[in-house]
């Protein structure tokens, strides 16, 4: 069974002090939960301080990006070996990285290879723009992005894979996809995985939906059989709303 995941993508928010305070508040509000994986993805400078308090706390940690090389003259970049031991996951190919920092399907693929080589579980983000959505290209875009990100990787290598479907028009806009649409596209992602890497990868990969999720809509989104969790931006920056989303999901999954 796929364990549901509520992943908080904090983006470029939170100082170390704020990150520690937010994390403590979240843990206090959620209490003990084993039914849902709580994943916090803070800015990379916060990973070490959060790791230091994580042993007694029920959350995993993820980075928001990494380079594909192990080391070298890449000013400002962070490599997978540097994240090893600090993060369990790494978000790759978020649409903000694709749109604002020139990431392409090819670099996302290189990063996915590099993350897996260093035992970091990749959370590969895919999603279509409003134009692409309105001109009926969603399925083609998602198929191309998923296939490109996973090119050259075997089923054995993809055991820890997570994919996040995040329509660009839904991110930070307050306009989430309907639960049905989100569920349909996450189902499409699973079918793409089944065709490219077989039934076992399709059945075990967690597929998240992201884009304006909040306490009000998480219940219906999580009712969709092909959605295994959410990648949450804005609502993950407030302890109360993130904790509520974790609790709603935990109740749905009976724990
Ligand atoms: P949002 O962001 O929840 O604020 O829409 C989601 C994301 O960018 O991962």
Which ligand 1 atom sits closest to the C-alpha of 235? 3
pLDDT tens string 19-46: 999 999 999 999 878 899 999 999 999 9
Residue among 5, 10, 172, 217 whose CB has most ligand 1 atoms within 8 A, to mutate: 172
What's the CA gap between 212 and 170, in Å, rounded? 6
pLDDT of 140 reads 98
pLDDT at 17 exceeding the cut of 90? yes
Q: Rounded to an integer, what distance in angstroms lies between the CA atom of residue 59 and that of residue 20? A: 13
Average pLDDT over residues 33-60: 94
Which residues touch 84 (CB under 8 Å, ≥6 apart)?
A: 118, 119, 120
For range 75-93, the mean pLDDT? 98
Contact, 83 vs 117, CB < 8 A? Answer: no
> Which of 48-62, 85-99, 132-146, 177-191 is the least confident region?
48-62
**Alpha carbon 33 to chain centroid distance?**
19
Under a CB-based contact definition with an 8 Å cutoff, are residues 239 and 26 in contact?
Answer: yes
Distance 73 CA to ligand 1 centre (A): 31
**pLDDT value at 88 more than 80:** yes
Atom 1 of ligand 1: nearest residue by CA position: 233
Distance CA 10, CA 209 (A): 16
The pTM of this model reads 0.97
pLDDT band at 57 (very low <50, low <70, confident <90, very high): confident
Confidence band, pLDDT 50/70/90 cuts, at residue 255? low
Q: Residue 115 Cα, ligand 1 centroid: separation in angstroms? A: 22
Mean pLDDT computed over every residue of the chain:
97
Question: Average pLDDT for residues 196-210, to the nearest whole number?
Answer: 97
Active-site pick, 103, 128, 166, 197: 166
- What confidence score (pLDDT) does residue 209 get? 98
Please tell me the distance between residue 108's alpha carbon and the centre of ligand 1 in angstroms: 19
Q: Which residues lie below 8 Å from residue 95, measured CB to CB, with a gap of 6+?
A: 125, 127, 166, 168, 171
Q: What is the pLDDT of residue 32?
A: 79
3-class secondary structure per residue, the chain = CCCCEEEEECCCCCCHHHHHHHHHHHHHHHCCCCCCEEEEECCHHHHHHHHHHHCCCCEEEEECCCCCCCCCCCCCCCCHHHHECCECEEEECCHHHHHHCCCCHHHHHHHHHHHHHCCCEEEEEECCCHHHHHCCCHHHHHHHHHHHHCCCCCCHHHCCCEEEECCHHHCCCCCCCCHHHHHHHHHHHHHHHHHHHCHHHHHHCEEEEECCCCHHHHHHHHCCCCCCEEEECHHHCCHHHHHHHHHHHHHHCCC
Q: Is the pLDDT of residue 97 over 90?
A: yes
Is 179 a residue whose pLDDT tops 70?
yes
Residue 218: pLDDT above 80? yes
Q: Whose CA is nearest to atom 6 of ligand 1?
A: 233
Average pLDDT over residues 108-131: 98
State the catalytic residue, choosing from 94, 103, 128, 197: 94
Predicted confidence at residue 56, as pLDDT, reads 82
Concerning whether 238 is annotated as a catalytic residue, the answer is no
The reported pLDDT for the residue numbered 225 is: 97
Which pLDDT value is given to residue 173?
97
Q: Which of 231, 238, 245 to mutate to test the pocket of ligand 1 (most atoms within 8 A of CB)?
A: 231
Domains of the chain: 5-252 (3.20.20.70)
Percentage of the chain modeled with pLDDT above 90: 95
Instruction: Respond yes or no: is residue 197 known to be catalytic.
Output: no
* Ligand 1 pocket, CB under 6 A: 9, 166, 171-172, 210-213, 231-235
Percent of residues, the chain, with pLDDT higher than 70: 100
Q: Which residues pair with 165 in a beta bridge?
A: 126, 209
């Amino acid at each position: 069974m796929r364990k549901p995941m509520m992943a908080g993508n904090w983006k470029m928010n939170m100082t170390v002090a704020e990150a520690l305070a937010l994390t403590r508040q979240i843990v206090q509000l959620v209490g003990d939960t084993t039914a849902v994986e709580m994943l916090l993805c803070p800015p990379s400078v916060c990973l070490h301080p959060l790791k230091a308090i994580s042993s007694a706390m029920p959350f995993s940690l993820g980075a928001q990006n990494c380079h594909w090389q192990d080391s070298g003259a890449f000013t400002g970049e962070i490599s997978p070996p540097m994240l090893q031991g600090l993060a369990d996951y790494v978000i790759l190919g978020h649409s903000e990285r694709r749109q604002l920092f020139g990431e392409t399907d090819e670099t996302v693929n290189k990063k996915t290879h590099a993350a897996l080589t260093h035992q970091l579980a990749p959370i590969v983000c895919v999603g279509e723009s409003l134009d692409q959505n309105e001109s009926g290209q969603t399925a083609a875009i998602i198929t191309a992005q998923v296939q490109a990100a996973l090119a050259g990787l075997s089923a054995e290598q993809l055991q820890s894979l997570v994919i996040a479907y995040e329509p660009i028009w839904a991110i930070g806009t307050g306009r989430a996809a309907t639960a049905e649409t989100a569920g349909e596209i996450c189902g499409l992602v699973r079918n793409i995985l089944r065709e490219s890497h077989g039934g076992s990868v399709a059945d075990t990969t967690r597929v998240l939906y992201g884009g304006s999720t909040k306490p009000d809509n998480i219940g219906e989104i999580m009712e969709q059989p092909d959605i295994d969790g959410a990648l949450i931006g804005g609502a993950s920056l407030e302890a109360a709303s993130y904790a509520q989303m974790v609790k709603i999901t935990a109740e749905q999954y009976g724990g």
